[in-house]
Structure 1
Amino acid sequence: METSGVKSCYQGAAQALLELVAQVPEAAWSLPALGEWDVRGLTGHASRALSTVETYLAAPAAGPRLDGPVSYFTAIRAGASPAAIAQRGKETGDALGEDPAAAVGELVQRVTGLVGRTPGDALVATPAGTLTLIDYLPTRTFELAVHGLDLARAVGIPVPASLKPGIAASLELAGAIAAQLPTAGDLLLLLTGRTGLPGGLSVV
């Protein structure tokens, strides 16, 4: 996908998150959502797919140079702490304040504007290593797509049409990540309905 397409896909997924958050009823923010997160915590975690772009673009390049989104996820997978991720989500959710939808709206406007005017080859300094913006954005689109679906399920609201390109791009990225794992064969069997998925779900 060309630079403009990668940016457009990310911006659409960001807009989808905003559309979802805007539909969350006031009484639903404390409802269980995903693992340790309530709806607020899940929203906080999802919003980090925006705030990290802003933060990491401003940081000096450091660490190993990563050659793409698959390398990024491989590095993150090796060093991720589920407890730390859960806690960051809760803290970020709390920081959204009394009007999470307004806070997410401001973040979406600011970060999508930043992405639009930043060259694709600008360096992004993540905790896992440094990569270009155009290689980092698909990882953020992936987070927005997956957690957008999580949020829609938790609150019982439709998935916005603006998330469809992000879902499609994330399926491609998920396949590329899966191909690098020792469990690649098992995952292929899962996706083709051989085992695990309810209702005979399959990609073929």
Structure 2
Amino acid sequence: MTLQAHVETFRRAGDHAVSVAEQVKPDQWDSPALGTWSVRTLVGHISRSFTTVVDYSARPADRVDVSDAAQYYVVIAPMLTDSSQIDARAVQAGLALGDDPLDTLRELQDRAAAVLDIDDQVIQTIAGGMRLSDYLPTRIFELGLHSIDLARAIGASEALPAEVADSILALSVAVAQRRDDSQALLCALTGRGPLTPGYSIV
């Protein structure tokens, strides 16, 4: 897919995430959401899909180290084993939303949209140098899946826009292939056997 196609899907995923956040009731921000996270913490984590785009777009890289979005998740897998660091970043992002979290979230979305009117440059990510067009599917993935988490936490509709769900599914399959899980996945998808309990590509 072209950079522009990924940008359009990213914007759609962002619009959807914000629309779910807009349904959070005033008394729900401190309610449980995902694991130990509150609704505020989860929305803060969602906001990082906007802030990382802004931050990474300002950090050009000299070379491509990560060839695509699937490799990105393979590379960062060891970093995901320390849940305390992930939790700390999410909590901080939730606090940074301030007294009006929705306005802050919308502002961060606007900032991300503003930096995407660029060429397909190589940016420095946590996994290494990547083309922007290869990085954006990882943000679509995060926005879409955590929109589902948020919707479930607050009792809203969890249905994703079709193009967002398609992007997440395609990336999920690609990551499973990189992990040599293709047969297990195809058996599960065709009713020929379950995945192992707790299986996740991230």
Q: TM-score, normalised by structure 2?
A: 0.89
Measured after TM superposition, the shift of residue 194 of structure 1 is: 3.8
Per the alignment, in what secondary structure is the counterpart of residue 33 of structure 2? strand
Partner of 2:130: 131
RMSD: 1.8
Q: Distance in 1 between matches of 2:99 and 2:159?
A: 24
Contact persistence 2:60–2:121 (CA under 8 A): no
Partner of 2:171: 173
Per the alignment, in what secondary structure is the counterpart of residue 178 of structure 2? coil
Amino acid corresponding to residue 150 of structure 1 in structure 2:
D
1:76-115, Cα deviation, whole Å (9 max, x unpaired): 1133222211111111011101111110011111111211
Measured after TM superposition, the shift of residue 146 of structure 1 is: 0.5
Q: Distance in 2 between matches of 1:87 and 1:184?
A: 33
Q: 1:166 to 1:82 in 2, by over 3 A?
A: same
Deviates more, 1:62-71 or 1:48-57: 62-71
Q: 1:192 to 1:82 in 2, by over 3 A?
A: farther
Contact persistence 1:42–1:93 (CA under 8 A): yes
* Structure 1 segments of 4+ aligned residues over 4 angstroms from their partners: none
Partner of 2:200: none
Q: Distance in 1 between matches of 2:83 and 2:62?
A: 24
Measured after TM superposition, the shift of residue 174 of structure 1 is: 0.3
2:185 to 181, 184, 187: 187
Q: 1:166 to 1:178 in 2, by over 3 A?
A: same
Structure 2: gaps (5+ residues): 196-202
Over the matched positions of the two proteins, sequence identity in percent amounts to 35
Measured after TM superposition, the shift of residue 35 of structure 1 is: 1.2
Contact persistence 1:17–1:148 (CA under 8 A): yes
Contact persistence 2:62–2:122 (CA under 8 A): no
How many equivalent pairs are there?
194
Q: Distance in 1 between matches of 2:133 and 2:54?
A: 14
Partner of 2:155: 156
Amino acid corresponding to residue 14 of structure 2 in structure 1:
A
Contact persistence 1:72–1:128 (CA under 8 A): yes
Contact persistence 1:123–1:133 (CA under 8 A): yes
Matches within 5 A, 1:1-204: 1-61=1-61, 65-80=65-80, 81-115=82-116, 117-119=117-119, 121-159=120-158, 163-196=161-194
Contact persistence 1:64–1:129 (CA under 8 A): yes
1:34-61, Cα deviation, whole Å (9 max, x unpaired): 1121111111111111100111111242
Measured after TM superposition, the shift of residue 71 of structure 1 is: 1.0
Q: 1:113 to 1:160 in 2, by over 3 A?
A: farther
Measured after TM superposition, the shift of residue 183 of structure 1 is: 3.6
